[in-house]
Every structure is written in structure tokens, then in C-alpha cells.
Amino acid sequence: DIIKEQNRELRGTQRAISRDRAALEKQEKQLELEIKKMAKTGNKEACKVLAKQLVQLRKQKNRTYAVSSKVTSMSTQTKVMNSQMKMAGAMSATAKTMQAVNKKMDPQKTLQTMQNFQKENMKMEMTEEMINDTLDDIFDASDEEEESQDIVNQVLDEIGIEISGKMAKAPSAARGLPSASASTTTTISDEEIERQLKALGVD
């Protein structure tokens, strides 16, 4: 409020100076006309007196410019001070806020919270990794078992053995194995099957 009042006073002073300067300029023109008039009539003494007045008037007019510059400078300084006061107020409010936050914050507690978070996060990652490894082992084992079974079935098929829950009948003579007749079947012993599997490299 004080700064606003000062600014109003400075603006009023500036307007008053401008009015005075305008009045001096008007008087200056009148004096110039009077000097010219006296010079035409040959009145040298009157010209000297009026010339001195004109010089003093012009000096006073120049002073108004100087004073106006000072007033403008003061107005600018007042605005700068007002801005600095606002900045100081903002910094004061910020400092109070920071003090309140610092009082609420416990560095040790915050550090402990961060450490707990890091520990629990590592545990979660380890658990997830273990679960993924277990699932990979299960599916890999299943795939290996299926692949192994496919190989065994292929080998058995190559040597003419059909699998349907248990070892069934031997293949017909069309595969090149000897047979007594169309209605007669030949049974292959377990030892023979194992021997043929080993010959093919299947344990």
C-alpha cells in the first residue's frame, strides 16, 4: 500500500512538472516575440533585459527535464523495490513450507522404507524366476517325453511292431517276415524286441 501511494504521488509530481514545462515553453515563445519586436524598434536596453529573462527561463525549462528524469528514476526504483519485496515474500513462504516438510520427513524412516521396497522387489523377482524355471522344466520334460515316445513308436513301426496298450501281434508277411499261413500268427518274445531295439540304438 505504501508503494502504491508513493507511485501515485510520483505520477502526480510528473504531471505537475510537465504542466510547468508547458507554461515555460509558452513564456519562452512570448519572450522571443517581445525581443524581436523590441529589436525592430531599436530598443536595445529592452532587448537585453528580455534576453536575460529568456536565458533564465530556458535554464528553468532544462531543470524541469532533469527533475522529470529524477522522478522517473524514482518511480522505476520503487517498482524494482516492490518486485524485490514480492520475491522476498515468496521466498519466505517457500522457506516456511520447506521447514514444515522437513519436520514431517524422517530421513531414517524414508531410507528404511526404500530399503524394504528394494528387498521385497528382489524377493518378488526371485520368486518369479523360480516359478518360470519350474514351468520351463515341466513343459520341457513333457516335450522330451513326447519326443522320446514318438521315436520309440517310429522305431517299433520300422521293425514291424504295433503298439496298442501292450505288445500285440507281429506284422504280416507283406513286410518280409516269414509266416506259416494267412491264419497263423507268430509271437515275438520280449528278448527279441529288446535285442532289435538295441541294434537300432534305442535303450
Q: For residue 201, is it within any domain?
A: no
What distance in Å separates the CA atoms of residue 202 and residue 152, rounded to the nearest whole number?
Answer: 8
Is 54 domain-assigned? yes
Band of residue 184 on the pLDDT scale cut at 50, 70, 90: very low
pLDDT value at residue 183: 38
Q: Looking at residue 144, what is its pLDDT?
A: 57
Residue 81 maps to a domain:
yes
Q: Which domain holds residue 104?
A: 1-122
Contacts of 175 (CB under 8 A, 6+ apart): 160
Among 18-32, 76-90, 143-157, which stretch is predicted with the lowest mean pLDDT? Answer: 143-157
Instruction: Kindly report, residue by residue over 62-110, the tens digit of the pLDDT.
Output: 888 888 888 888 888 877 887 888 888 888 888 888 888 777 777 788 7
49 found inside a domain: yes
- For residue 155, the Cα-to-chain-centroid distance in whole angstroms is 64
Q: With a cut of 60, say whether residue 198 has pLDDT above it.
A: yes
Q: What whole-number distance in Å separates Cα of residue 35 and Cα of residue 43?
A: 9
Bridge partners of residue 163, in order along the sequence:
167
Q: What is the pLDDT of residue 44?
A: 84
* pLDDT at residue 203, as a whole number: 58
The span from the CA of 169 to the CA of 195, in Å, is 18
Residue 42 lies in a domain: yes
Amino acid at the residue 3: I
pLDDT band at 115 (very low <50, low <70, confident <90, very high): confident
- Secondary structure (DSSP) of 119-147: HHHHHHHHHHHHHHHHHHHHHHHHHHHHH
Give yes or no for residue 29 having a pLDDT over 80: yes
Number of domains in the chain: 1
Residue 187 lies in a domain: no
Residue 162 maps to a domain: no
pTM to 2 decimal places: 0.40
Helix intervals (H) in the chain: 2-41, 44-104, 107-158, 190-199
At 163 the three-state DSSP class reads strand
Within-domain flag for 127? no
